[in-house]
Homo-oligomer: A and B are copies of this chain.
């Protein structure tokens, strides 16, 4: 099957949904951990299950370059290759082509994007067709359309041309998509221009994808711009399809996006900040490099039910982080991923009880006002 989305309940614009997949049913809003190279950095699938992880992401660009999509196909697909027994979403590689090729030759043509591999400088061409072909071979449960991710800010003229091209690319990708068990999502772009978001949204919806994603909203410090992009991008999406906000994982951003009607999220943030010694807590982020944690023998977050918080103290994790011990980043990754997943669990409960607005207010107050 492809996926099925059912809207079960709502609290104003905040939605409670059910996503049926090849690998079980999952409620939304949902946070998806990112396994860029077919591994959520330092963690096993079992640790993700224990954190209540549903869909896991993997990255088409990285897996195309190494080990190659054919190796993964020969292994029996991405699920068997990485032994993840829940749903997998692959992104299109579009974002990586633009972000990783930054200081290298990169040439956007109607055909696709010419660029050099960040690994060995090889000349490569990623097209909408190639991206879908790779994702078909990876055999993920959800594939993403290949889109252009323009920098921010760009001129209205540039963004208009980019959005039009992304729609042509979406059509080309959809035309070659060939995997009965794989859903295909379209992506809404358009930057901060309300009319281009509207155009992108309506034209993408016309192509009738299995779900819709909003891209290009993580544009820096100005959160109001981001929230407006979400509002503009979501306005013309059908209510019976799932809505995915790409690359967003700050707790407050998740709450603001759910309030505007977003269902699923992904972000490298929980594992990336973990490797730098940071942990989410109910009272905001803490940095375990801080000397004040040296003899703090309490858990990272007293309200957390994760493996790390049940078994280890801030003082021990600080010791691991300051000693460059791998277990430190691993324990923080377990906690940070569970923290965001638990946030979405509480959000779902709040939507069921029609208390989302109040839940959001209390969470943000505690997260921003008190000291960890």
Contact = CB atoms under 8 A, between A and B. Distances in A.
Interface in A305-323: 307, 311-313, 315-316, 318-320, 322-323
Interface string A137-168: 00000000000000000000000000000000
Given A39-B325, A44-B311, A71-B315, 11 more contacts: A37-B323, A39-B327, A41-B326, A42-B326, A42-B327, A66-B322, A67-B294, A71-B295, A81-B315, A83-B316, A330-B330
- Tallying the copies of this chain within the complex gives 2
Contacts of A329: 326
A43 interface: yes
A75 interface: yes
Given A297-B75, A326-B326, A326-B330, A319 B38 contact: yes
A74 interface: yes
B320 A39 contact: yes
Nearest to A47: B44
Contacts of A42: 42, 326-327, 330
A295 B323 CA distance: 36
Interface string A329-353: 1110000000000000000000000
Nearest to A323: B37
Nearest to A327: B39
Contacts of A43: 327
A126 interface: no
Interface in A241-287: none
Given A43-B327, A323-B66, A326-B326, A75 B315 contact: yes
Q: Which 10 pairs show the lowest CB-CB distances between chains A and B? A: A42-B326, A67-B319, A39-B327, A37-B323, A39-B325, A83-B311, A75-B297, A74-B295, A81-B316, A326-B326
Given A294-B67, A294-B71, A295-B71, A41 B316 contact: no
27 contacts: A37-B323, A38-B319, A39-B320, A39-B325, A41-B325, A41-B326, A43-B327, A44-B307, A44-B311, A44-B331, A66-B319, A66-B322, A67-B315, A71-B295, A71-B315, A71-B319, A74-B295, A74-B297, A75-B295, A75-B297, A75-B313, A76-B297, A81-B313, A81-B315, A81-B319, A326-B326, A330-B330
